[in-house]
Chain A
Amino acid sequence: ETGVTQTPRHLVMGMTNKKSLKCEQHLGHNAMYWYKQSAKKPLELMFVYNFKEQTENNSVPSRFSPECPNSSHLFLHLHTLQPEDSALYLCASSQERGGRTGELFFGEGSRLTVL
């Protein structure tokens, strides 16, 4: 069982669909993240959760809605997406110690295609 598991690995959806991405970490970490990775662009941090509380939202459009029911699970709810939202969505977790960010552990990503 890998440390950070993302499902589904691939998702194709229409612009009017509603779908969700799921992330689960088995590492006992206290912080979880969503990143967006588009072709020829740096990784974009989308959301940060620390002890289940959202601590950062990097001006992400409201068509992306995160949910963190506990420190092991993170969801990204998707609705009325645009074709430019097609990307690899990466979940990561880390253990914060003394207020300093530890290394990130990534899942394998969910490849999203919006038609």
Chain B
Amino acid sequence: AQSVTQLGSHVSVSEGALVLLRCNYSSSVPPYLFWYVQYPNQGLQLLLKYTTGATLVKGINGFEAEFKKSETSFHLTKPSAHMSDAAEYFCAVSDGWGYSSASKIIFGSGTRLSIRP
């Protein structure tokens, strides 16, 4: 069975600093991996995803993530934080196959990112 662990429920960085949000997963088959962002009182929005191919994935708003199979990690980074990046971030994994695979996306507990002026 697959699972996702997000290290750190709350991360605080200064504006302009590097953002690093950590995600480790377990999966018995090659996974699909996702990062979603949730702003207050809104639904989740896809930031980026890894399916196959290039292990460094670029997403919206300057975020990127690297799939490292040997470390079972999919950490999210952004070189320079902006105040508008303050939100909740969720890592998710999917390894479902078969007709009923629609249910197989598992989310982490989320990391709240705060940006200090």
Contacts and interface: CB of A to CB of B under 8 A. Distances in A.
B53 interface: no
B44 A101 contact: no
Contacts, number: 75
Interface string B20-42: 00000000000010101000011
B42 A101 contact: no
Interface in A43-95: 43, 45, 48-50, 55-56, 58, 90, 92, 94
B84 interface: no
A99 B99 contact: yes
Interface residues of A, number: 29
A55 B102 contact: yes
A109 B42 contact: yes
Interface in B89-117: 90, 94, 96-105, 107-110
Contacts of A104: 34, 36, 44, 46, 105
A101 B100 contact: no
Nearest to A42: B109
Contacts of A99: 96-99, 101
Interface string A26-51: 00000101000000011101001110
B49 A103 contact: yes
A100 B43 contact: no
Nearest to B107: A43
B61 interface: no
B45 interface: yes
A62 to B, nearest CB: 19
Contacts of B107: 42-43
Interface of B: 32, 34, 36, 41-46, 49, 90, 94, 96-105, 107-110
